[in-house]
Chains A and B, each alone.
Chain A
Amino acid sequence: MSPPAVQPPAALTIRADMWDARRASGWLESAALAQNVPLEQVVRLDHCLDEALANVIRHGGPAALSSPVHLQFSVRRGPGACTAELSVSDAGVAFDPSTFVAAAPHPASLVDATPGGLGLPLIRNFSDELSYRHSQGRNHLTITVSWVEEA
């Protein structure tokens, strides 16, 4: 059996602000489509990226806002399945989204609903796997989506 084919990663460094987050989305789409990632998977990653960057901007604190955010994207193609990995590295407050448990379940009515706290549920829903590590003062979140490619 031949090993999975790994294409060289694409990388981008941005500022931690909403407009660079939008620029990152364009970069992600270009990089993913150039590697023939199906559009459905690109859409999933795009949602995860927007929410991950929104968390950095809203909750990362001053260090997150004053330091660059590093993004990396790579695709792995194997005989059974393909995966695309998007890594987000920021210098904000240490936070592991992969193990975070929501404080409360979905509200029962509109009266009880609050407008926030929906980013992580969306990341969880649109990704197949999340992994996290904290090293050298930076959060490193890796978001993975998987799909089966027709022969």
Chain B
Amino acid sequence: MAIRFEDVNEGLRRIVLSGRLDTAGSEQIAPQFAELTESAKGGVVVYLSAVRFLSSMAIGVLVTGAKAVQARGGRMVLHVAENEVIIRTLEATGINELIPTFQDALDAEKALLK
């Protein structure tokens, strides 16, 4: 699994996750993900399209990050593209109803401007 980020501007940070976010993988990325969400100055888009496995531990990492962004007045959204396994996992846990989820990357970033 891998994590990388890009600050598009003051108001938008992209965090790209990829690979297998099983329990072990989630623990590995959790500290950096937390740092990236806590230090973001505006909105955050988390790209999950290249994630092939999303565990409950990984969802917990996402929820913690989204709460950190929200606590500073920002918003975090998810981009899932056509990744059916990830969509099913998010729907099964109801997280897609708490963290806005988009199949189109442009829609995800536009949502942060509203």
State the A residues within 8 Å of B (CB): 18-19, 21-22, 25, 43, 46-47, 50-51, 53-54, 57, 106-107, 109-111, 113-116, 118-119, 121-122, 125-126
Contact = CB atoms under 8 A, between A and B. Distances in A.
Chain A CB count within 10 A is highest, among B22, B53, B63, B64, for B22
A46 B21 CA distance: 12
B60 A115 contact: yes
Interface of B: 22-25, 27, 53, 55-57, 59-61, 63-64, 66-67, 70, 85, 88-89, 92-95, 97-99
Contacts of A106: 93-94, 97
Contacts of B89: 47, 122
A126 B61 CA distance: 21
Contacts, number: 73
A77 B63 CA distance: 40
B98 A43 contact: no
Given A50-B22, A115-B60, A122-B92, 9 more contacts: A21-B22, A50-B23, A57-B23, A106-B93, A107-B94, A110-B98, A113-B95, A115-B59, A121-B93
B77 to A, nearest CB: 12
Contacts of A121: 56, 92-93
B98 A113 contact: yes
B64 A115 contact: yes
- Among B23, B59, B94, B97, the most chain A Cβ lie within 10 Å of the Cβ of B23
A108 to B, nearest CB: 9
A53 B64 CA distance: 22
A18 B98 contact: no
